[in-house]
Structure 1
Amino acid sequence: MKLVRLIANLGYGSRREVALMFREGRITDAQGEVLYADDRVPHETVRVDGEALDPPAGLVIALHKPTGYTCSTRDPARMVYDLLPPRFRLRNPLLSTVGRLDRDTSGLLLLTDDGQLLHRIISPKSRVPKIYEARLAQDLRGDEAELFASGTLVLESETTPLAPASLNILGPRHARLTITEGRYHQVRRMFAATGNAVTQLQRVAVGALALDELALEPGQWCALDEVQVARVFEP
């Protein structure tokens, strides 16, 4: 692929805008030599204004989503894309969230421009576990773990029972819940079905990839390597 097209696809600008960047000498190799629009050189050697080129298609990002941000691309309020370099929203293929976390939920959010990978992670057939820590408005009753694990719980306005889920009690009003589905506001609705309410919710892991091991502060992100992506599919 010619450099002008590659760089435009990474969101640095339209092809016309990127062509102008070439003419201005802003695109070079690692040694500072000016490159040209039709050059074909290794991705890792390209520099834009002296900075390494963004990762190519197949990018997977882990973001520590703070509360107050949505996963929408059109929300007039704050969006998770506001936490990333602006050009990431212009990448082709599109950089999409892998599932969603609602505005009031924080924690580990994955984004990728790899459509096949995205669907593999969110597909119910993959049964990728998503682990949440919840703070609750009331003390736990004591029978929630059995109910959630039964595979018989039907959420309000639905007719299909939830897949079995695992609940670990961390305190009277503090629990860790592992689910393998991604229904709308599922964790909050599960606790609501027991007469309780979630006051604070954080996703702490997707598969075996844990937020703690990434050492990301709220609002920070990092690109994942192949080993880290593979951990998503580990039980």
Structure 2
Amino acid sequence: MRLDKFLAHHLGISRNLVTKVLRAGQVTINDELIKSGATKINVTDVVKYQDTVLEHITSKRYFMLHKPQGYVCSTEDPDHPTILYFIDEPMPERLHSAGRLDLDTTGLVLLTDDGQWSHRITSPKHHCQKVYLVEVARPLTEDLIATFNQGIKLNNEKALTKSAKLEILDKFHARLTINEGKYHQVKRMFAAVNNHVIALHREQIGNLKLDVLEGEYRPLTAEEVNSIGSAIK
């Protein structure tokens, strides 16, 4: 990694300010004064700013975030703010969401820099359950429970969706549990039964239930990480 990028994230300053810090002789690598931001560093290098050691990130990271509306689940987007706005961690751009939510969908997002772990969540073969609270435009009927259980034919899809559990809470609200993650799946499932999703909120992935306030996040425990089927490295 370049030294200027490393410093920008650890010190929380812009690249321009990093350049000034370097020119002022405030940074050393392995006790050698460094003034070039293009210098490459390794995890074995000891980087100091004003004699304070800046720690490298060597272990995998796992977080749950309560995503509000209006944010996209990507690291960069030219038109909308991203969920990294809420993450106050070193090098947040290394994190990615394990299963995205739409711009207007709220709720549980899992963030990690462990690609194998996130694959266990997103890969269809692992059948990781996702639970959503849904608000729809038209009244829900009891016959939909069987329809969702049997599988639904989505537009432009050959196969039916996998069996899903629909729990009707009232005429316009339901809890839906699915075991796959097709593109806009929940919205498309309700569209296929002549309804329209007004609001969508994800409250659970696997055994992990959302328990932080909107716009807040927290690290997962080792037990929670392992519940998805992977150990912290």
Structure 1 equivalent of residue 91 of structure 2 = 88
Q: Report how far residue 50 of structure 1 moved.
A: 8.0
Amino acid at match of 2:202: R
Deviation, 1:53, is 5.3
Aligned to 2:217: 221
1:10-21 mapped onto 2 (5 Å cutoff): 11-12=9-10, 20=22
Cα distance in 2 between the residues matched to 1:39 and 1:135: 48
C-alpha deviation, 1:121, in angstroms: 1.5
**Contact 1:60 1:224 (C-alpha < 8 Å) held by counterparts:** yes
Q: Distance in 2 between matches of 1:226 and 1:11?
A: 25
Q: Calculate the TM-score normalised by the size of structure 1.
A: 0.75
The 8 Å contact of residues 10 and 56 in structure 1, kept in 2 or not, is answered as no
Report the 3-state secondary structure (helix = DSSP H, G, I; strand = E; otherwise coil) of the residue aligned with 1:63: strand
Gap regions ≥5 residues in structure 1: 28-34
Give distance in 2, aligned partners of 1:127 and 1:204.
17
Pair 111,169 (structure 1): closer, same or farther in 2 beyond 3 Å: same
Alignment of 1:39-54 (within 5 A): none
Letter in 2 for 1:116: Q
Cα deviations across residues 26-78 of structure 1 (Å, max 9, x unaligned)? Answer: 99xxxxxxx9589969xxxx999989958643101111000111113224211
Aligned residues: 212
Sequence identity percentage: 36
Letter in 1 for 2:60: G
The answer for the alignment partner of 1:115 in structure 2 is 115
> How many angstroms apart in 1 are the aligned matches of 2:162 and 2:190?
15
How do 1:24-43 residues align onto structure 2 when only pairs under 5 Å count? 24=26
Q: Deviations over 1:152-206 (max 9, x none)?
A: x110121121111111111111100000111111101111111111111100000
Q: TM-score when scaled to structure 2? A: 0.76
1:210–1:36 Cα change, 3 Å:
farther
> Which of structure 1's runs of 4+ aligned residues deviate more than 6 A?
37-41, 46-52
The match for 1:58 is 60
1:12 to partner: Cα distance: 3.0
The SS at the match of 1:125 is helix
